[in-house]
């Protein structure tokens, strides 16, 4: 609808210095002529649009213009509050906390309880590692803001720990873990580091000039090769197995057991996943992983006073997960 597009254009221009008509036309899948008419309509409604000619020109809202609080509806403000609460739980930033209080004060009178109730909670810390990860996030965020060099010891899969000196750029919460996107002086390029693998972190007095480039969510690190993993489950464990590994390729058999076929990235994490399920699971395919699992289980049993597997059980398990750092 045209009204929705007009409101979206206003929000975009409020958050950016300038935008060209062609950019707006591409974003909203309309012609540049339509955008010109929209900008005229916005200007006529009392929101001043300023046009800058030339190669670096474009359109923006007059910097002195203050938007009416009525632009944001009840649901808009509540969504902003929920998001800010989640981010502030990680950073515990004084300025962000003050901003949160200001936005909460914009809520409608008479509906304060409804406005502040937690319908959605965004918790950015894994179970059990809340204090450690929060400490690292609170240490690194000011280093990014102040452009200070950070040094730490970093250990990756299958590699000895190395001392790294990096120019921190962005904190990233991805899937279930926190990462630091930074320019690594050792490697001479941007790398992404998992916070849980960083040790002996030091924020230096040395400052750096921020380099060109920004974190792109689509720019994933190289992924390990994918393999077909087939797991079998004994009768009595099929319900738990379906909860963990259920999907289109999960089948129960007539004897009460079950089989799951998964496509997963290769790596030693698979052994931990299978061993973590406990008794009642077996690797059916691939055969080499089945052997590795038996050796790992025997080595664990031997280390805990059980029947050992001799030297065979002590073999190092192949680590197949490549590292981007």
Strand, coil or helix: what is 38?
A: helix
Strand, coil or helix: what is 312?
A: helix
CATH assignment of 2-67, among 3.30.2230.10, 2.60.40.3710, 1.10.10.10, 3.40.50.300:
1.10.10.10
Strand, coil or helix: what is 278?
A: coil
Residue 1 Cα to chain centre, angstroms: 33
The helix (run of H) or strand (run of E) holding residue 206 is strand 198-207
Q: What count of other Cβ atoms lies within 10 Å of the Cβ of residue 148?
A: 18
pLDDT of residue 12: 76
CA angle 259, 261, 262 (to 5 degrees): 140
Instruction: Say how far apart CA 238 and CA 244 lie, in whole Å.
Output: 10
Buried b (16+ CB within 10 A) or exposed e, 10-43: beebeeeeebebebbbeebeeeeebbeebbeebb
Show me where the domains of the chain are located: 2-67, 70-116, 130-207, 226-313
Give pLDDT tens digits for 215-256: 876 655 556 678 888 888 888 877 878 777 776 678 888 887
Q: Which residues make beta-bridge pairs with 263?
A: 228
pLDDT of residue 150: 96
Instruction: Say how far apart CA 24 and CA 9 lie, in whole Å.
Output: 8
Q: Which residues make beta-bridge pairs with 252?
A: 258
Domains 2-67 and 130-207 share a fold: no
Give pLDDT tens digits for 90-134: 556 655 566 656 655 555 555 555 555 556 555 655 555 566 777
Q: Which residues make beta-bridge pairs with 162?
A: 154
Residues 6+ apart with CB under 8 A from 209: 147
Among all chains, which residue has been given the structure tokens 């909460």? Answer: 104
Q: What percent of the chain has pLDDT over 90?
A: 12
CA angle 274, 226, 264 (to 5 degrees): 35
> Domain 130-207, what architecture?
Roll (2.30)
Per-residue pLDDT for 203 more than 90? yes
Strand, coil or helix: what is 299?
A: helix
């Amino acid at each position: 609808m045209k009204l929705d597009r007009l409101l979206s254009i206003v929000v975009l221009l409020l958050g950016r210095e300038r935008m060209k008509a062609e950019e707006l036309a591409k974003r909203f899948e309309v012609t540049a002529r339509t955008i010109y008419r929209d900008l005229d309509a916005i200007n006529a409604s009392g929101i001043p649009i300023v046009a800058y000619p030339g190669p670096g020109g474009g359109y923006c809202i007059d910097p002195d213009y203050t938007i009416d609080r009525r632009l944001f509806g009840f649901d808009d403000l509540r969504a902003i509050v929920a998001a800010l609460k989640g981010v502030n739980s990680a950073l515990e930033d004084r300025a962000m906390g003050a901003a949160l209080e200001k936005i909460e004060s914009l809520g409608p009178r008479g509906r304060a309880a409804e406005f502040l109730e937690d319908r959605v909670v965004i918790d950015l810390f894994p179970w059990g590692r809340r204090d450690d990860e929060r400490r690292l996030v609170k240490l690194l965020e000011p280093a990014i803001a102040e452009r200070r060099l950070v040094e730490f010891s970093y250990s990756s899969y299958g590699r000895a720990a190395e001392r790294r000196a990096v120019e921190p750029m962005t904190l990233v919460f991805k899937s279930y873990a926190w990462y630091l996107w930074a320019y690594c002086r050792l490697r001479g390029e941007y790398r992404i580091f998992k916070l849980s693998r960083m040790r002996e972190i030091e924020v230096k007095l040395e400052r750096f000039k921020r380099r060109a480039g920004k974190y792109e969510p689509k720019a994933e690190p190289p992924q390990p090769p994918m393999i077909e993993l087939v797991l079998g489950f004994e009768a009595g464990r099929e319900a738990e197995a379906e909860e963990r590994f259920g999907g289109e390729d999960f089948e129960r058999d007539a004897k009460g057991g079950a089989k799951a076929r998964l496509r997963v990235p290769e790596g030693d994490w698979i052994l931990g996943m299978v061993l973590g399920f406990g008794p009642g699971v077996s690797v059916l395919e691939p055969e080499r992983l089945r052997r590795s699992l038996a050796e790992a289980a025997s080595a664990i049993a031997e280390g805990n006073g059980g029947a050992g597997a001799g030297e065979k059980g002590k073999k190092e398990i192949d680590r197949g997960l490549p590292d981007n750092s």
